[in-house]
Copies of this chain bind each other. A is one copy, B any other.
Amino acid sequence: MKLIIAIIKPFKLDEVREALSEVGVQGMTAVEAKGFGRQKGQTEVYRGAEYATNMVPKIRIETVVSDDLAPRVVETIAAAANTESIGDGKIFTLDVGAALRIRTGETDETAL
């Protein structure tokens, strides 16, 4: 199984979620995040003083999927989250050793 971590633009969450459901992803978890990368955040003025908002709001989603589904999932997220503008984000893939569904005790693939 693979753990796929994607950092995306907040307003893309719904589209990504729907796209994932369509390709058969059974579940995912999202977290509010802030990030920096190429996109550096902008300089604002507050009460006459300039300041840089170094980090930009992002959503970090993670989903664990079977090895064979993983590539589809990466493509799907990439397609759904792409706005062709800086700050679109990243997708990382990691190996998962084991998975367990708390409710039923089912493990690994069946647990996803």
Residues of A bordering B, CB below 8 Å: 2-3, 5-8, 14, 17, 26-38, 54-55, 58, 60, 64, 74, 77-78, 81-103, 105, 111-112
Contact = CB atoms under 8 A, between A and B. Distances in A.
Total copies of the chain: 3
A97 B1 CA distance: 12
B3 A92 contact: yes
B17 A36 contact: yes
Contacts of A86: 103
A33 B30 contact: yes
A77 to B, nearest CB: 7
A31 B111 CA distance: 22
A91 B102 contact: yes
B85 A102 contact: no
